[in-house]
Amino acid sequence: MQILLLDYYEIFIATLLGAILGSFYACAVFRYIYGQTLTNPRRSKCPQCGHQIRWYENVPILSYLFLNGRCSACHQPISLMYPIIELTSIVWAVLLMLKFGLSTQWLVYMLFGGLMIIASFIDLKTFILPDIITIPGSIAAIPCAALFTPLGWKGALLGACIGGGLFWSLRLLYKGLKGIEGLGLGDVKIMFMIGALAGPQNISLVITVAAFSGLAVGLILMVVDKNRKLGSMIPFGPFLALGSMLTTLYAPHFWAWYLG
């Protein structure tokens, strides 16, 4: 009974923290898109009418439902991305808690998962993986993975070099064959960070999940949008982040199944 109560307590903490961070992630995403900073303006405003968001209009997910997805002042629609980002953050925090408990590994993956959530949603809207996220994330990933996960320095360094180096090579190869950019430098940088966290043994799994999920979404978009053609651009960063997150959570189960 005591263990069960502890589990519920940890899940509650993860849910609360995931919701608070998710609200911050959504703010960071849209402020980047609108060309603003985290400190200017000091308080969030409706992009349509400039209405200053009150505290009770900024409660993760609940405020969106209470306001029926519209600004309380001008009644213009609020982007559905806000609650989606918040919900993504909550699910990520809870699943990590169920796997790692309150531990340093949980904190590490929460930190870098947050960076990937912000970068992914920015990429979805702008086709840009911002340097302000990918470069510090890449630098910090190696020591964090080496010190606070079982990978150690060798695994973190090797994973980063393989992940980043592979995508750098693919970028050069595609440009050489096609004469155009197929992979951006942002994908190379985020893969350097992901490689450090996943380790060399899991990079193939990250890329496989990213490739198949990206292909599936691309095909769905072609069915929904008849004017969309095969080969149309689709941001790859969100799928790399998805592959990294699923690998963090389920890689041991996958390899146990795959290897029999």
89 within 8 A of 81, measured Cβ to Cβ: no
- Three-state DSSP at 99 gives helix
Q: Tokens standing for 255? A: 């390899």
Q: Tokens standing for 133? A: 């996220």
Which of 56, 73, 102 is where one domain is finished?
102
Same domain, 143 and 258: yes
Q: Tell me the C-alpha distance between 33 and 44, whole Å.
A: 14
Which of 49, 68, 102 is where one domain is finished?
102
Same domain, 239 and 142: yes
Same domain, 93 and 121: no
Among candidate residues 117, 141, 231, the one with its CA nearest the CA of residue 191: 141
pLDDT tens digit at each of 260 positions of the chain: 444 555 788 899 999 999 999 999 999 999 999 998 888 888 888 888 888 888 888 899 999 999 999 998 898 999 999 999 999 999 999 999 999 998 999 999 999 999 999 999 999 999 999 999 999 999 999 999 999 999 999 999 999 999 999 999 988 887 777 777 767 889 999 999 999 999 999 999 999 999 999 999 988 888 887 676 655 678 999 999 999 999 999 999 999 988 87
Q: Would you call 167 exposed, middle or buried from its count of C-beta atoms within 10 A (0-12, 13-18, 19+)?
A: buried
Which of 65, 85, 102 is where one domain is finished?
102
Domain interval for residue 257: 103-260
Same domain, 96 and 135: no
Per residue, what are the HEC states of 207-226? HHHHHHHHHHHHHHHHHHCC
Q: Tell me the C-alpha distance between 236 and 119, whole Å.
A: 11
Q: Tell me the C-alpha distance between 185 and 187, whole Å.
A: 5
258 within 8 A of 250, measured Cβ to Cβ: no
Q: Tell me the C-alpha distance between 17 and 34, whole Å.
A: 26
Same domain, 162 and 248: yes
Same domain, 258 and 136: yes
Vertex 222, ends 217 and 226: CA angle to 5°? 155
CB atoms within 10 A of CB 118: 24
Q: What is the pLDDT of residue 3?
A: 46
Same domain, 111 and 227: yes
Q: Tell me the C-alpha distance between 201 and 210, whole Å.
A: 16
Same domain, 15 and 93: yes
Same domain, 154 and 225: yes
Q: Into how many domains does the chain fold? A: 2
Same domain, 153 and 240: yes
